[in-house]
Structure 1
Amino acid sequence: MRTGLFIALIAAAWLGGQVQDSFAQKRPSASPSESTKVSPRKEGTPKKETGRPADPFTVGFVTGSPQCTEFAIAQDIATTLASGQETGPHGQVALRVLPIVGDGGVRNVLDVLTLAGADVAISPVVLVDRLRETRTFGDISDRLTYIAPLHIEEFHLLARAEIGSLTELSGKRVNLGDDGSAGAILGREVLNRLGVKIMESNLGPEAALDGLRKGDLSAALLVSGKPLSFLTQVSQLDGIHLLPIPYFKELLQQDYLPSTFRHKDYPNLIAAEASVDTIAIKSALFAYNWPSGNERFRLLEFFVQTLFTRFPEFLGDAHHPKWREVNLAAQLPGWRRFRPAERWLQQQSGGEAALRKAFGRFIEGKPTADLPDREELFRDFLRWRERNPAK
């Protein structure tokens, strides 16, 4: 894992240096009257690099910071797909996936639009929709495509013990994450909609946690899928807790979803019978829309076929629980799916019906009383399928 993280960080430094960050402007505060825009200015249409050839066997996968769940998902894909491949005489493999550290927000999209070695990215759907609508990077409708919707990303608002509600953050210093990240853009927007005026900071996760402990910050926002392994180092003994974010339907319904943290998500932060309400956004796996004759198109086609075929492997206990939220066949309104992904799903259209029948046969043998929760039952079902592949 450390080796993979090191490689990803080196890749990010090399690739990230090729473009300027278009969202580097800082905003010291967020107020209800402030316009909630994705970008402070409209950029010229960025061009995809063609001068330096990328590795023809490596898919560049832009994700979030190393502390986030989305980086873990990319690393999960890289590790799983690397196994089980035939190798050449010198250990070559036909497909490698290289996680590239991004900001989980606008930079992810910009990297896919511009960097020769950046092919796919996990990004919040609402941010990519906004970039298309505002034409911040020109018309991206034909330059981006999606492979599949993924999981939801929750808003984790960590606060010091003396902060008891969201409204108490008014006038306080709150970290929203690196400027241009999902936390900075969407956190600013949510606070605007809810009428909470803050003093904004734009620090990374480690620096933000240190600032919370020292009292330099009153709260810090992390937008990432639960459970976030980074938060295992935080407990109520640090004088830090998860602050509820109320879901006001009339203010947030269009772009946000309600969600809840429970003890099983963060046993170090939430008591056994307690829960913390929050909000969430949808994420998806986007890809550069390479021309069909391009070698990168063929590489992405192989990546999709491999990922989709081996998808059941990601549903087991050894992988992040967010995988169990993913429905590969779900659609993303307003966007075109990568053509090889669409073809694969069409060819497998009978597979879901067959799986449902198999699941029905599995639960027929279960007693009606004291059924385990859905997650535990699904794990049992996967193990049963392994033992009974013909049923």
Structure 2
Amino acid sequence: MFTAIVENRETACRPHGKLVPMRLATVAFLLLACLFHQAVPSIARTNAPEAAPQVQPYPMQPMLRLAQAKRSPNPNTVGIVTGRPNGTDFAIAQEISTVLANGQETGPRGEVALRIVPMIGKGGIQNVRDVLTLPGADMGIAPKILLDRLRASKELGDISKSLVYIAPLFHEELHILARPEIRNLADLAGRRVNLGEEDSGTEILARDILSRLGLKVTEVNVDQNAAAEGMRNGDIAATVFITGKPARWLERYAREDGFHLIPVPYTSSLEEDYLPATFTHQDYPNLIPDERIATLAVGSVLIASNSPRTSERYQRLETFVNAFFSRISEFESPARHPKWKEINVAAVLPGWSRFAPAERWLKQRRLGAPDADARAEFERYLDQSGNVPSATERERLFQGFLRWWREGKGR
């Protein structure tokens, strides 16, 4: 009945609607109904709870962007820029992340005190550039030879001031995987050789090594999977890869498939920046029979941006150093990568400044300072003697001097 009345009311109240003759009482009733119809929305608005005033979004946008710009990344998260996932530096970064994550207490929402995030980079110079420019790239792993060259060229500015090192890491070996008809480096002359992806650390260092050895090849720049396929069909003679042994990606290849590692001679032209190294059957049982294959190696370094002491990045790195150095013995487990056996976080990188909290941690535990003093004394001795040995000979002499120094100091 109420619906019918409302419908009749609306018809009667329309300005252009046709009014049906009605009794005076009926007309009066409908007139009151029309007045009530007009009043209902006002009454409803009056009785309803007051809605919160709408705020226009545009005045808030600049403030929101400013707040987001000031908001830092998670203070518990530290990023490490590495090379490709098949490289040793990525494996080392993953193990750092795994070991430091274990045994940490979690907060009420499951947060941990420290989280390490490996970041896949391009390697080489780009890793250094990322540490200098990317907000989340707190640290990076880079070859020492590239750091020295960038410092000399100033391609990225004065990195001796903008970068610090946390610790020298492992040595990376030069791998040259070749087709069966390639027996030595000389056989690669004029042939198509893959030097890795463009601007990668492998490409830069491989080109430098081949140039010092006087070997000219036709360069190819593809990833290792594409290079292996090119070797199978005879389009590519060999592929070069620089990483710490054993390289896991090489496990899929064998001599029976027509692949083998070729030796690299260690000549006087390489002594300044490279170290001699070898591959054995234990390193690559599928590729190497009972023999030793000579090759080269270059040291890698864990670097960081030289951030102000009051910055959040500095504080994150200090947290990382205290955790990493305190648990370094856990990385020597047989389950970890074999390269951990080479790593001595107290080793000194001549010509570079160590991150202050790392230096302080080592000195407090008398791990870094004595070796640093020995290095300084050794360098003074060389300066006085006028002897200028090669990098390899210099390191060999220093290790002998260091043994004498430690014995003399009762260490």
**Match in the other structure for 1:303:** 320
Per-residue CA deviation, residues 185-213 of structure 1 (Å, 9 max, x unaligned), is: 11101111111111101112222222222
The answer on whether the counterparts of 1:158 and 1:221 sit within 8 Å (CA) in structure 2 is yes
Q: What is the CA-CA distance between 1:167 and the residue it aligns to?
A: 0.8
Indicate the RMSD between aligned Cα atoms, in angstroms. 1.6
Would you say 1:279 and 2:296 are equivalent positions? yes
Q: 1:263 aligns with which of 269, 281, 286?
A: 281
Q: In structure 1, what residue type is equivalent to 2:326? A: T
C-alpha contact (below 8 Å) 1:59/1:119 kept by paired residues = yes
Question: RCO (CA 8 Å, sep 6+): is it higher in 1 or 2?
Answer: 1
1:211 aligns with 2:230: yes
Q: 2:257 aligns with which of 238, 252, 272?
A: 238
Distance 2:70 2:109 in 1: 28
Tell me if structure 2 keeps the 8 A contact 1:67–1:230.
Answer: yes
Question: TM-score under structure 2 normalisation?
Answer: 0.72
- Amino acid of the residue matched to residue 262 of structure 1? T
Q: Assess if the C-alpha contact under 8 Å between 1:67 and 1:205 holds in 2.
A: no
Q: 1:135 to 1:171 in 2, by over 3 A?
A: same
Q: Give matches, 1:164-183, under 5 Å.
A: 164-183=183-202
Matches within 5 A, 1:122-271: 122-248=141-267, 250-271=268-289
What does residue 393 of structure 2 align with? none
Q: Is the 8 A contact 2:359 2:368 kept in 1?
A: no
Secondary structure of the residue aligned to 1:142 is: helix
Structure 1 residue runs of 4 or more that deviate by more than 3 Å after TM superposition? 50-53, 350-353
Quick check: 1:336 aligned with 2:346? no
The Cα shift of 1:214 comes to 2.5
1:103 aligns with 2:117: no
- Structure 1 residue ranges without an equivalent (≥5): 1-49, 354-391
SS, match of residue 152 in structure 2: helix
Larger Rg over CA atoms: 2
Q: What secondary structure, in the 3-state scheme, does the structure 2 residue paired with 1:147 have?
A: strand
Q: What per-residue deviation string (whole Å, max 9, x for no partner) do you get for residues 109-128 of structure 1?
A: 01001100001111100001
Percent identity, aligned pairs only, is: 53
Give the Cα–Cα distance (whole angstroms) in 1 for the partners of residues 133 and 234 of structure 2.
40
Normalized against structure 1, the TM-score is what?
A: 0.75
Larger helix share, 1 or 2: 2
Instruction: Give 5+ residue unaligned stretches, structure 2.
Output: 1-68, 371-411
For the residue of structure 1 that corresponds to 2:161, the secondary structure is coil
- Paired residue total: 302
Residues 152-189 of structure 1 show CA distances to partners (whole Å, capped at 9, x for unaligned) of 10000000001011011011010111122221111101
| CA deviation after TM superposition for structure 1 residue 90, in Å | 1.5
- CA shift at 1:52, angstroms? 7.2
SS in 1 for 2:160: coil
1:24-63 equivalence runs, <5 A: 53-63=72-82
The answer to whether structure 1 residue 86 and structure 2 residue 132 are counterparts is no
Counterparts of 1:171 and 1:238, CA distance in 2: 24
SS in 1 for 2:111: coil
**1:119 — aligned with what?**
138
Q: Distance in 2 between matches of 1:173 and 1:75?
A: 34
Match of 1:70 among 64, 83, 89: 89
- Distance in 2 separating the partners of 1:177 and 1:327: 29
Q: Which residue type is aligned with residue 274 of structure 2?
A: Y
- The one-letter code sitting in structure 2 at the alignment partner of 1:309 is S
